[in-house]
Amino acid sequence: MAKLPKKFTDRVRARLKHFQGIAVAQRARDVSEADTVTLVKDILAEVFGYDKYSELTSEHQIRGTFCDLAVQTDGAIRFLIEVKSAGSTLSEAHLRQAVNYGAHKGIEWIVLTNAVEWRFYRVRFAQPIGWDEVVSICLPDISTRSDDDLQKLFLLAREGLAADAISAFHQQGQLFNAFTVAQTLMSEPVVTAIRRELRRAFPELKIDPEAVEEMVRLHVVKRELVDGDKANEARDRLKKAAQKAQRAARKAAQFDEESEEAA
């Protein structure tokens, strides 16, 4: 976990509760989208620490349409924010609209919010365009006494932006998740270890590695973790990591061998 700056934690603890109450009240009143945009700007400024006048831009035009807000620092758009009315339920259609904005502009970070719920996405520039949900925050449920909750808020904060916290968090999520763990469980070293431990416990047991792998794949791991695009991505990621490690090992061995010959 990142060490949270005192400036950030002090600001959140001083201002968050106030805006939690406002967000809940506006949801109950089902205020307009325009009023919700105003609230979101205030939250971004007073809780997340952005300069309302120099770092938050309204109605950012993208190919003839407009995104509600954009965060801009050092002359560059850091992420786009699509705002829906406080009483609305965030939907897949809303997300696709926000992702399309980012895809057209080449901006990879997207926030979809109704002031109560905040969802942060990373756009994947592929064919077709895709996205990963990085973090989802329900503002009224956040506790300033919880370090985990503060870490989530930090991902969207001005201080977190400066530290590129969201990229590090996303990378961690890509490497450590249910899909990569599932693929690791079916890998040759783990299957070999399972078979060895089973045979140690039950010497009379006759099983081959293929049977162990099949048991894990069909009966131990959930099917959705071994089939589909995310499972394939995890498999490819692990394969590339293994190949990289093998190349590094060969290079190290070659260096050792050349050092011994030179000596």
The answer for 51, left when phi > 0, alpha when psi is -120 to 50, beta otherwise, is beta
Please state the domain extents for the chain. 6-162, 178-262
User: Is the predicted pLDDT of residue 145 greater than 60, yes or no?
Assistant: yes
Task: Provide, rounded to the nearest whole percent, the portion of the chain with pLDDT above 70.
Answer: 88
More confident residue, 22 or 125: 22
pTM: 0.70
More confident residue, 214 or 65: 214
pLDDT in tens, 35-45: 999 999 999 99
Whole-number average pLDDT of the chain: 84
How far is it, in rounded angstroms, from Cα 122 to Cα 166?
A: 9
Where residue 59 falls among pLDDT bands split at 50, 70, 90? low
Least confident interval from 37-46, 85-94, 178-187, 231-240: 231-240
* CATH code reported for the domain at 6-162: 3.90.1570.30
